[in-house]
Structure 1
Amino acid sequence: MSSSAPAADAASARSGGSGHTAIRARGLVKSFGKVQAVRGVDLTVAQGEIVAFLGPNGAGKTTTIDMILGLAHPDAGEIEVFGRSPRSAISHGLISAVLQTGGLLKDLTVRETLRLTASLFSDTRPIDEVLQRAGISSIADRKVGVCSGGQQQRLRFAMALLSDPGLLILDEPTTGMDVEGRRSFWQAIRADAARGRTVLFATHYLDEADEYADRIVLMSHGRIVADGTTAEIKNLVAGRVVHATLPGADPVALAAIAGAEDVSVQGERIAIRTRDSDSVARHLLTATPARDLEISAQNLESVFLALTGNDDTEKSTR
């Protein structure tokens, strides 16, 4: 394989070839004192899948990811990555992670950082290749300390690619990137997944999960509450959402409308989730000064809120 070929080809061979299971977890339980962070999680991820791992803060996502990375041991249950223990998979370079913070020395250049990281492995992809894959060849000689947040995230991505991992775990991978940066980043991820790389990513950007994930796994209160394609997840919550402009809207009065199941008010715009959108729309148009009324199907954000019961999620408004 030439140095310019996608690294996932080698990762696929080392992890067992296409069609194999990347992650297999059964009955995972993890507690911290009296707090049970993970409560019987079962999760299977096939090689080459791009899986969005979603949930509000405290849902158990980070603890589950820590167990996949071998950073935490389950109190009960078992977990395998490419048929190995997480620690064994890591020692063979089959897992890499891109985290939000840490891991960078600001006085080194981008290229020096990659050389230092590569020295930790017995075999790595060429540095020029991972620079190109991460889209940072043009800043290879720039000091890390003067790189933007988005550029530093791309450097972390390049570092993760060095060992040619079969499984790539991303924690808020596009934080600090502009719109074009996010798009090109996900294009690179999709190209790798098409050649066998498995990607598990946690994000608060629900639009990224909607657009780029093959599958969504949604956690709440330590359990997986939904698992499927975006369309399947959206179909779990029946009904529609009625949007309208209503100055001075009273959330209590709106919640009392027959058929209203959930109400949100942002400035003059209101959103009412309901199984009877015709009835709610009729009330708004005849009994209130509402205008600019729209009726839409459930989106991922409304499903997220309905399934997690969380009204204060950290979600992107972009």
Structure 2
Amino acid sequence: MDIRFVAAGSGDVLAVMAGEGGELLASAQALDTATGGRLSKAAKAARFTGGPGQVVDVLAPEGVDFSRILVIGLGKLDAANGLAVERWAGHAVKRTLTSGAEKLVLQPEALPGVSKADAGAHAALGARLAAYRFDTYRTKLKPEQKPTLTTVEVALEGPAAARARADQDAAVVEGVFFARDLVSEPPNVLYPESFAERLRDLETIGVEVEILEPATMEKLGMGALLGVAQGSARPARLVSMKWNGSSSKNAKPIALVGKGVTFDTGGISLKPGAGMDEMKGDMGGAAAVAGAMKAIALRKAKANVVGVVALVENMPGPNAQRPGDIV
């Protein structure tokens, strides 16, 4: 999806802001006046209160360069921050992603604690994150499931400043998508060895990656981790990722540690069958650390950071760890 920053946008759908109580912000107020009160009337009919994520979808009248107008709530304006703007933009993208619309225009406003340039950057970040999809294994999509949205324009005064601010977020988006991809993979594809190899790819962007195998882990006394792995045919891995970006020789590293149980059946203490498929998500902590390391490296952060993830599959079996074992 292409994100653009413009002074004035045009497209299929326009998204504007409203606060608590249905208060229309400047762009929405101007549009409401130009359309003879169309937005305020629609908001009243829908009992719109401007709560976070609440949406009024209005068919645009003749003379407006859009087919639809989305009035999306921010909640309390005095408490609205950058995250609120990201969520506002995210709601707009989710509303239009598969709607048939090809182009969405976001009109963010300056808020009490957010400048207009920062609001534009946050809107772009929220749009990018909301457009994420994991369709790797989907072979068929119904027409109504296929994304149609190809372009998002962030329309505001001084678009260059917002674009410069948003460029700094590109690495964050890459890191978040990396983590989301890892969490979304099925456990027969992402297991300790394959997870570790995906992390080795971070070497291409300057991360030092060290992968420990069971023999080394045993020498280091990692009995608890190896005990969990006993019931699985998949051997455990421990991965250390290092980013040395500080210019100071005395800078202490920041340490990030993530749990990486790629599938957790509960081992010999088997979990209930209902919802068992969701146990692939027990490696979400490791995915978060991996995503953070990717973002840190892509941003070329001026800090020393170490990310450590313990990767293991917890399965029942003749060698599975028993409750009460000393490891």
* Structures share fold, TM-score greater than 0.5: no
- After TM superposition, the score normalised by the length of structure 1 is 0.31
Greater length-normalized contact order (CA 8 Å, ≥ 6 residues apart): 1
